[in-house]
Amino acid sequence: MGKRVKRTFKQELLTSMIAVSVLPLAVCSLFLIQLFQLKISKDYQVRDMELAEEVNSRMEQLFSEFSVLADEICENDDIAEALRNSDFTNSDEIYRTLYRKTKELRDDAWFELYSMDGICQYSTGTGTYQKKLEPYWGILRKASEEAEKFVVLRADEPSGNAVLQAAKLVQDEQGAAGFFVINMGTSEFENVLKGTYGGQDGICILDGFMETVFSAGSTADENPGAALRVRLLQNEPIQSDYNGNSVYLDKIEGIELYVILLRPHIFTEDTVNSMYTVLFIMIAVILILCVCLVYNLSNRLSRPIKVLNQTMHEVQMGNLDARMQEDWPTTEFAEMSGNFNYMTADLKKNMEKEVEQQKQLNEIQIAMMQAQLNPHFLYNTLDTVKWVAKANHVPEIVTLVSKLAKILRAAISKKQFTTLREEMELVESYAQIQRIRFDGRFECICTYDEKLADCELPKLVIQPIVENAVIHGLSECEDGHVYVDAYVGEADDAPALIVEVRDDGCGIGQEVIDRLNNGGLQEPTGHIGLGNVDKIIRLHYGEAYGVKISKPDQGGSLVTLTFPLRKEKTIDAKNSGGR
Amino acid sequence: MKVFWEKCKVITICLGMGILFSSCKTTQEVITPVVEENKLVVYTSHKEEVYEPIIKEFEERTGIWVELHTGGTSELLEEIAKGNGEFTCDIMFGGGIESYCAYSDYFKPYVCSRNNSIKKQYRSKDGSYTAFTELPIVFIYNNKLVDSGRAPTGWQELFYQSWQGNIAFGDPLKSGSSYTMLVTLIQAMGMEEDVTLKQFARALEYKVSAGSKEAVDEVSSGAKAIGLTLEETALKAIDNGADISIVYPKDGTSTVPDGCAIVIGTKHEENAKQFIEFIVGDDVQQLAVDRLHRRSVLENLQQTGDESLKVLNYDVEWAGTHREEILKSWANIIAEQGR
């Protein structure tokens, strides 16, 4: 499929609308108009043909009767005799014969008998007696040249009222004696063709050279024959329109005549134009209707989609409170909006639930971790041991137990946060215990600025680090040191409390360092304490804080803890928050 | 898919065309078209009553279809000259032979088979034209106003005081035959053209009729007592009941014939030749005498008019070459005195 230009919903809709409304209308109407025109003109053509047929048959009938009459007259010896002798005495006899024989036809023509020199001797018409026709010219010449034939010719000027003449040579055994001439004038034609044509039609009879012989009806005063003759000579189509009339031409068989029927067009240009105008107005109205409908419909359809799109975008940007309006007029859109809103609400609920769960989980984790170091009973026992040792004067045990108790107290405490000072004291307590245990093989040096003493940090986060350093870093050393330093550094573009725990022991494995630094603290390893500390810090303060391990060049290992720089007040506030 | 759409388009277009053109009907020809070999284009300056029967009979006898263009003689000749032989005209029919002399370059010489039967003086020297009928100039007078004994008998008598302002004469600027009459008068009076023109203008009191037919009407109605016209026009008027008589000038008159010629560049030369043969044939010449009140150019044809006609030796060439000059001085004389 070819490349498609992207179109809007509105355009698509408009195209389809036009395709289903205007196109069928236009095609149907055009088809109808054409069909109508075709049908009407065909009907009229058929009528024309019938009319021409009627005219044809009447003319043929008439001329065959004329022909028979001419034969009878021309074979009459008396008539020949009378024509040959100008001083013939029995002219009344001839007239009687003539009138008797022409009785039936005298309404359709008048009849004349000419002598060979073209003088009219007998006539059933008026005022034509002794009229002269040139025997070498026109009808008489034709009749004498075609002696045995009945000839027909358009009449010219000296023939008086006659428009068409037919003649035959009168002969007997002595030879040619004269001419029998049949004359038809305009009124005779009207009589013959009476009733064949209506007032609107034009009828015209032409001779073989397309000259008008008789013209009646609407063309009575015109000369369509001349126009058709010009057409014929210019090789133009004969039957094309004449003066807004359709032209039908037919030949009258037997005699060299043509009949033309002219009929005004039922479908004049005006009618067709007004039909087309109506069609165009209809199309225009439908087009306007289409546009309005499309505008309305596309608004109804595309606005919800637009709103949906916008709302979805908002949700995408993180606003789960975004809601769509639900009162669309279209059921489907109302449903869709409802579903979308439901979905968004559900999503929000799920998110909140998940956050809550995560929080709970974290708290449980912390609580569990703290519970590991919270044996109440152990504390009470240790107190007892301390008093027993004091009674028995064993100062090492007293120290040992009192320091252990201090550590335990801190561990048992419900507080989750402590100050740097307390934590450092805790570290020192632990160091003292371990010095006794390890027979003074190491030293723990804690240094911090007094200004930082009130800084907040989760409890029991430095001690596990120091423990690690003592147990794993210095286990092989005879004279080890653990340095714990606190100072102000920077983390996440803010001032931070940095606590460094450094030892000069055997160091730490590179693999452990990598794993710790890459956040792989969740897995239980030998340094479980370290992992827990990191996790606690991160849970409390976020990913920017936590534990980092490195291997300094001078040997041993360096653990750096990073906390946000906060004072004790906030700690109290937090602790009093019930957590 | 694309192909499918293309097909759809094509089908739609075809359907549309079909609908649009379905109304155009074809009809079988009832009449066979006229082939070029059966045509003849005739320019004629004759009146309808003259050309109509002749053309009709010609068509009837030969089967040739004549395409007719009518107009004034000089107008038609000018058109032929403009076409310079390339024009579609085949034959020029009508108009005095002096006009033909002036335009002989545009005519194709043709000597008809009956040339020897034509009166000697009407035979064309170069064959460029063929004379059709002779048209004598005659005097006419109103029978009621003029006693037959008092009617003028010669050209000189036109200048008599008694006729002054009483002579009907067509405007020679408009009518070719009136010009011929003027030249005939000049030649009859002995070739002093300026004197003759002035005298004649005074005799007319500087007033002319619109044409030669109008001149006859004026005499017939009694507006003028006598007039100058063609015998043909006068005979026709008498035939139609005008109460006028004809006088053939005793000192002779001109009988300038009208002519017919084949135009150079004709496309239907054979038909044109047939036409010339036809019009100098016995039948047409006889018809001209019997029906058209004209005189035949043939030697041996029976004439109906006055046999006593004395023919003046009319110099056709002089009339042709001096046409402009004479008409100009005539116009000047009329214009000066008419003020």
- Out of A156, A238, A239, name the one closest to residue B56 (CB): A156
For chain A, give the percent of residues with pLDDT over 90. Answer: 4
Spatial separation of the C-alpha atoms in residues B242 and A573, rounded to whole Å: 150
How close B245 comes to chain A (CA, Å)?
24
Report the SS3 class of residue A198: coil
Count Cα atoms within 13 angstroms, Cβ side, for B325.
8
Q: Output b/e per residue, B146-184; b: 16+ Cβ within 10 A.
A: beeeebbeebebbbeeebeebbbbbbbeebbbbbbbbbb
Q: In the prediction, which pLDDT does A577 show? A: 41
Q: In the prediction, which pLDDT does B23 show? A: 44
pLDDT in tens, A404-445: 888 877 777 777 788 888 889 888 888 888 888 888 888 888
Confidence of residue A463 (pLDDT cuts 50, 70, 90): confident
What residues contact residue B211 under an 8 Å CB cut-off, 6+ apart? B170, B171, B174, B175, B178
Chain B residues lying within 8 Å of A229, measured CB to CB:
65
Spatial separation of the C-alpha atoms in residues A516 and A405, rounded to whole Å: 31
For chain B, give the percent of residues with pLDDT over 90. Answer: 30
pLDDT in tens, A525-536: 455 577 778 888
Q: Does the CB of B9 have a partner CB in chain A at under 8 Å?
A: no
Closest alpha carbon within chain A to B33 = A232
Whether residue A128 contacts residue A160, with contact meaning beta carbons closer than 8 Å, is answered with yes
Subunit contact B2:A209, Cβ cutoff 8 A: no
Subunit contact A158:B291, Cβ cutoff 8 A: yes
Tokens 């976020």 belong to A542
Tell me the domains of chain B and their CATH numbers: 37-134+256-296 (3.40.190.10), 137-254+315-338 (3.40.190.10)
Subunit contact B56:A157, Cβ cutoff 8 A: no
Tokens of A533: 């500390």
Q: In what order do the strands lie in the sheet with A212-217?
A: A212-217, A202-207, A257-264, A245-252
Report which of residues B186 and B11 the model is more confident about: B186
Q: In the prediction, which pLDDT does A1 show? A: 43
Confidence of residue B1 (pLDDT cuts 50, 70, 90): low
Nearest to B257 by CA among B99, B148, B131: B131
Spatial separation of the C-alpha atoms in residues B217 and B238, rounded to whole Å: 11
Q: How far is CA A202 from CA A1, A198, A214, A241, A558, in A?
A: 61, 8, 11, 13, 126
Report which of residues A4 and B198 the model is more confident about: B198
Q: Does the CB of B30 have a partner CB in chain A at under 8 Å?
A: yes
Q: Span A98-118, mean pLDDT? A: 89
Closest alpha carbon within chain B to A40 = B23
How close A111 comes to chain B (CA, Å)?
22
Chain A residues lying within 8 Å of B16, measured CB to CB:
27, 30
pLDDT tops 60 at residue B22: no
- Out of A2, A34, A209, name the one closest to residue B65 (CB): A209
Closest alpha carbon within chain A to B31 = A251
pLDDT in tens, A182-241: 999 888 888 888 888 777 788 888 888 888 888 888 777 778 888 888 888 888 887 777
Q: In the prediction, which pLDDT does B20 show? A: 56
Subunit contact B56:A154, Cβ cutoff 8 A: yes
Q: In the prediction, which pLDDT does B24 show? A: 44
Subunit contact A209:B34, Cβ cutoff 8 A: no
Subunit contact B56:A250, Cβ cutoff 8 A: no
- Out of A38, A209, A249, name the one closest to residue B22 (CB): A38
The crossing angle, in degrees rounded to 10, of helices B48-62 and A138-145 is 20
Q: In the prediction, which pLDDT does B285 show? A: 92
- Out of B25, B31, B283, name the one closest to residue A258 (CB): B31
How close A93 comes to chain B (CA, Å)?
32
How close B48 comes to chain A (CA, Å)?
11
Report which of residues B203 and A129 the model is more confident about: B203
Q: Looking at residue B280, what DSSP letter applies?
A: T
Q: In the prediction, which pLDDT does B65 show? A: 93
For chain B, give the percent of residues with pLDDT over 70. Answer: 89
Q: In the prediction, which pLDDT does B25 show? A: 42
For chain A, give the percent of residues with pLDDT over 70. Answer: 93
Q: Span A337-344, mean pLDDT? A: 88
Q: In the prediction, which pLDDT does B229 show? A: 92
Nearest to A114 by CA among A155, A73, A152: A73
State the distance between the two ends of chain A, measured CA to CA, in whole angstroms. Answer: 68
In DSSP terms, A487 is beta-bridged to A498
Subunit contact B33:A232, Cβ cutoff 8 A: yes
Chain B residues lying within 8 Å of A1, measured CB to CB:
1-2
Here the ipTM equals: 0.79
DSSP string covering A219-256, please?
TTTS-HHHHHHHHHHTT--TTS-BTTEEEEEEEETTTT
Report the SS3 class of residue A321: coil
Q: In the prediction, which pLDDT does A157 show? A: 65
Tokens of B258: 């009208």
How close A156 comes to chain B (CA, Å)?
7
Q: Looking at residue B227, what DSSP letter applies?
A: E
pLDDT tops 50 at residue A167: yes
DSSP string covering A53-69, please?
HHHHHHHHHHHHHHHHH
Spatial separation of the C-alpha atoms in residues A121 and B127, rounded to whole Å: 45
Spatial separation of the C-alpha atoms in residues A286 and A288, rounded to whole Å: 5
Subunit contact A249:B290, Cβ cutoff 8 A: no
Whether residue B163 contacts residue B155, with contact meaning beta carbons closer than 8 Å, is answered with no
What residues contact residue A426 under an 8 Å CB cut-off, 6+ apart? A406, A407, A410, A418, A459, A460, A462, A463
How close A238 comes to chain B (CA, Å)?
8
Residue A144 main-chain phi, psi, to 5 deg: -75, -30
- Out of B1, B22, B286, name the one closest to residue A1 (CB): B1
Which one of A155-159, A387-391, A400-404 scores highest in mean pLDDT?
Answer: A387-391
Nearest to A340 by CA among A328, A352, A355: A328
Q: Does the CB of B269 have a partner CB in chain A at under 8 Å?
A: no
> Which residues of A sit within 8 Å Cβ distance of B?
1-2, 27, 30-31, 34, 37-38, 41, 45, 132, 134, 136-138, 141-142, 153-154, 156-158, 209-211, 229-230, 232-233, 235, 238-239, 249-251, 258
Q: In the prediction, which pLDDT does B19 show? A: 54
Tokens of B33: 């078209």
Q: Tally C-beta pairs within 8 A across A and B.
A: 78
Spatial separation of the C-alpha atoms in residues A552 and A562, rounded to whole Å: 18
Subunit contact A232:B52, Cβ cutoff 8 A: no
Q: In the prediction, which pLDDT does A216 show? A: 84
Subunit contact B30:A258, Cβ cutoff 8 A: yes
How close A351 comes to chain B (CA, Å)?
49
Q: Span A326-334, mean pLDDT? A: 82
pLDDT in tens, A127-147: 777 778 888 888 888 888 888
Spatial separation of the C-alpha atoms in residues A305 and A9, rounded to whole Å: 11
Chain B residues lying within 8 Å of A256, measured CB to CB:
none
Chain A residues lying within 8 Å of B46, measured CB to CB:
none
Q: Looking at residue A119, what DSSP letter applies?
A: B
Q: In the prediction, which pLDDT does B47 show? A: 87
Confidence of residue A542 (pLDDT cuts 50, 70, 90): confident
Chain A residues lying within 8 Å of B27, measured CB to CB:
239
pLDDT in tens, A1-45: 445 567 777 788 888 888 888 888 888 888 988 888 888 888 888
Q: What are the helix and strand counts (H, E) for chain B?
A: 12, 11
Q: Span B12-30, mean pLDDT? A: 56
Subunit contact A156:B59, Cβ cutoff 8 A: no
Closest alpha carbon within chain A to B3 = A1
Q: Looking at residue A268, what DSSP letter applies?
A: -
Subunit contact B60:A38, Cβ cutoff 8 A: no
Check residue A25 and give left, alpha or beta (phi > 0: left; psi -120 to 50: alpha).
alpha
- Out of B25, B29, B291, name the one closest to residue A134 (CB): B291
pLDDT in tens, B105-143: 889 999 999 888 888 888 888 888 999 998 889 999 999
Q: Does the CB of B307 have a partner CB in chain A at under 8 Å?
A: no
Report which of residues A478 and A389 the model is more confident about: A389
Residue A72 main-chain phi, psi, to 5 deg: -65, -45
B56-115 residues touching A, CB cutoff 8 A: 56-57, 59-60, 65, 67
Task: Report the Cα A488 to chain-centroid distance in Å.
Answer: 68
Q: Is A107 exposed, middle or buried (0-12, 13-18, 19+ CB in 10 A)?
A: exposed
Q: Give the strand pairing for B65-70 and B226-230.
A: unpaired
Subunit contact B19:A30, Cβ cutoff 8 A: yes
Subunit contact A232:B282, Cβ cutoff 8 A: no
Subunit contact A134:B29, Cβ cutoff 8 A: no
DSSP string covering A359-420, please?
HHHHHHHHHHHHHHT--HHHHHHHHHHHHHHHHTT-HHHHHHHHHHHHHHHHHH-S-SEEEH
Tell me the domains of chain A and their CATH numbers: 75-189 (3.30.450.20), 195-264 (3.30.450), 444-576 (3.30.565.10)
Whether residue A225 contacts residue A206, with contact meaning beta carbons closer than 8 Å, is answered with yes
Whether residue A228 contacts residue A260, with contact meaning beta carbons closer than 8 Å, is answered with yes
pLDDT tops 80 at residue A69: yes
Chain B residues lying within 8 Å of A38, measured CB to CB:
22-23
Q: In the prediction, which pLDDT does A576 show? A: 45
Secondary structure E strands in A1-144: 110-115, 120-123
Residue among B8, B17, B40, B60 with most chain A CBs within 10 A, to mutate: B60
